[in-house]
Homo-oligomer: A and B are copies of this chain.
Amino acid sequence: MPRPLRVAAAQVGRVDRSEPRASVLARLITLLEEADKQAVKLVVFPETTFTTFFPRYLITDDVELNSFFENEDAVTGIVDAPNVKPFFDKAAQLGIDVVVGYAEKTPDGVPYNTASYVSGRRVVSKYRKVHLPGAFEPFNDHPDTTNQLEKRYFKPGDLGFQAFRAPSLRHEVKSPIIGMLICNDRRWAEGWRCYGLQGAEIMCIGYNTVAWAPELWGADPNMDRDFARQDALFHHKLVCQAHAYTNAMFCITAARCGWDDGKFELITGSMVVDPEGHIIAENKTDGDELVVADIDLDACLQGKARTFAFEKHRRPEHYGVIVERAGVVEPPEVI
């Protein structure tokens, strides 16, 4: 019996450092209304959906830095955070489930790079980004430099990789099993596998990925901008397609993209990938855009029951080193 579902990635274009929350919210609500017109049931929004991607800047003013975070309600979580409540009210009113990324400040003041799955104003599950890229210190504090200061502004996620059911999307007796990752996480096989081992059928991923930052990358500062952008997009698609295939799940990726402040370029790549690794829907623009696809969750069965039937083929007795240490130990040189 098929288990059909209409899903979408909500791509969000240019957001400047100074763009007010109200302006961003109005754009996000327009995307929700478009999703409603198309009868979409689940929409994935980007990482730090409500603001520009502020970890690219060295921000030393605490007032400005705090302005990029959402203060969660101690009981209801993100849905009553003052700056963004209208967005969740609208999604609930339209009956659309959403995955939304944002900079979280806990009631105790701890900062995380977070995504929540929200259905009818209820936070069904929360994920905090585990693989924070970049460094604590800026490599160059010139105001026009692209930094990557997530390690400075966020704590690494402390919730692990918890797959969960989305009962609002239930077919007959079975609710879809969902996982969430944020940006750089998608390059790390471990998170995907942890979700795969919980039977996840849809991976939801928001991201901000720089299109050209040779100084940040330690690359030739004169490297070709078109090559850099295409290569960043190639890597994004490569890892999402491969990890979706090898874990037999769908994957929805939502980009923050465009030229923030008119000078910091982010890649696009919003798409829906099927469990065989094929891209079945993809963005056409580099601005606000809803990328819609009809999927059948039973398409996961071929991979889950045969090629990647984990219980038949995996050999955990040989995987110990994956959890025994973080870094590399090389074999000794042979004299």
Contact = CB atoms under 8 A, between A and B. Distances in A.
Interface of A: 130-133, 156-157, 160-165, 167, 173-175, 177, 184, 187-194, 196-199, 217-219, 231, 234-235, 238-239, 241-243, 245-246, 276-277, 302, 304-308, 310-311, 313-316, 318-335
24 contacts: A130-B318, A157-B318, A162-B331, A163-B331, A188-B314, A189-B189, A189-B192, A193-B322, A194-B321, A194-B322, A196-B328, A197-B321, A197-B328, A198-B329, A219-B302, A231-B276, A235-B276, A238-B277, A239-B242, A310-B326, A310-B327, A310-B328, A316-B323, A320-B323
A323 B328 contact: no
Contact of A323 (B191, B219, B304, B322): B322
Contacts of A314: 131, 188, 190, 326-327
A235 B245 contact: yes
Copy number of this protein in the oligomer?
Answer: 2
Given A193-B321, A198-B330, A322-B322, 4 more contacts: A156-B315, A235-B277, A238-B241, A242-B243
A313 B192 CA distance: 16
A306 B235 contact: no
A98 B172 CA distance: 56
Contacts of A318: 130, 157, 160-161, 190-191, 194
A329 B332 CA distance: 39
B311 A328 contact: yes
B197 A193 contact: no
Contact of A177 (B173, B190, B330): B330
A243 to B, nearest CB: 7
Given A189-B246, A238-B238, A322 B331 contact: no
